[in-house]
């Protein structure tokens, strides 16, 4: 049977706190392998380093959001050492863990290869993340009463849809990062304000092959409340109220891109919860993502 972990900071999640972000998302143990290059099919190569850290898109977003606004994490872990690492990482950063649920199964895992140029490739096993249910999640949101909800696609699809519907019914702002991208009924999540995507995610959602970021952002803007399309070193495109703004990228030395998109989403959501305008929030998020990729995971 699942049980809810009672956090050490329940006052963070009390009703009436403003601003207050609820992150509904995944929590994994990240197994990070430093490699000289990615192996090709049938090849074995020697790794150059190994690190285990708390991760997952939801957890990473929460750790970034809490730097700016009070944050609670709604998610699912197992009953193993990985769950303990995740709980400690969240709690020590000041994220409320009242709604972190434990299930009798293994905590999610992510296997990450990082090359010397800082680029990564990732394989995720959902495991306990797949045990999240709409019923538990919506009950947590009702109790938490957040100003804003941030979620992504590393949780079951029915949970994402239920969260979007809850936000629509309650009038709570929804920030959605549809990653890892998967087929979904756009109408079910059209209240995302904003939808945060990269080029590949935008192409998949739209079913087009265009590499024109501005075109992709404009096409998505017809279906969602607002759009933020991140473009790596080229910055981001923001569309809101019919206006499109390009935010220039930060020119930095890349050490590790892992978690950059999550840092962007978490930071943006937290500033929006404070009432900051979308373009200004995206600028601040872009700056935080640039800071993150210049650092090793230990230094963050």
What Cα–Cα distance (Å) separates residue 22 from each residue in 13, 175, 214?
9, 10, 30
Is 262 annotated in the active site?
Answer: yes
Cα torsion for 143, 148, 149, 152, to the nearest 10°? Answer: -170
Residue 35: what are its φ and ψ, rounded to 5°?
-130, 155
Angle between helical axes of 57-65 and 81-93 (0-180°, round to 10):
20
> Per the residue annotation, which of 30, 193, 213, 262 is the catalytic one?
262
Closest by CA to 20, choosing from 195, 135, 141, is 141
Alpha helices in 70-212 (DSSP H): 81-93, 134-144, 157-170, 199-206
What residues act catalytically? 262
């Amino acid at each position: 049977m699942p049980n809810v972990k009672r956090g050490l900071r329940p006052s963070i999640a009390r009703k009436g706190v403003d601003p207050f972000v609820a992150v509904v998302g995944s929590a994994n143990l990240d197994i990070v392998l430093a490699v000289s290059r990615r192996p090709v099919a049938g090849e074995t190569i020697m790794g150059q380093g190994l690190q285990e850290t708390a991760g997952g898109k939801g957890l990473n977003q929460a750790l970034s959001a809490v730097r700016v606004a009070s944050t609670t994490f709604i998610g699912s872990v197992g009953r193993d050492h990985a769950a303990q690492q995740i709980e400690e990482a969240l709690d020590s950063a000041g994220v409320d863990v009242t709604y972190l649920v434990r299930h009798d199964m293994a905590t999610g895992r992510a296997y990450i290869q990082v090359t010397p140029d800082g680029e990564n490739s990732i394989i995720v096993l959902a495991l306990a993340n797949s045990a999240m249910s709409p019923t538990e999640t919506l009950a947590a949101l009702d109790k938490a009463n957040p100003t804003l909800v941030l979620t992504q696609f590393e949780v079951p699809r029915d949970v994402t849809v239920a969260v979007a519907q809850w936000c629509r019914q309650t009038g709570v702002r929804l920030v959605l990062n549809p990653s890892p991208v998967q087929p979904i009924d756009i109408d079910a999540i059209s209240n995302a304000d904003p939808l945060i995507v990269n080029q590949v995610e935008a192409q998949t959602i739209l079913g087009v092959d265009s590499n024109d970021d501005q075109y992709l952002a404009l096409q998505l803007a017809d279906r969602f409340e607002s759009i933020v399309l991140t473009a790596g070193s080229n910055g981001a495109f923001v569309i809101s109220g019919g206006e499109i703004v390009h935010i220039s990228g930060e020119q930095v030395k890349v050490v590790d891109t892992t978690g950059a998109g999550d840092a962007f989403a978490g930071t943006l959501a937290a500033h929006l919860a404070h009432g900051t305008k979308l373009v200004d929030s995206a600028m601040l998020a872009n700056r935080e993502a640039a800071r993150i990729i210049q650092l090793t995971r230990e230094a963050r």
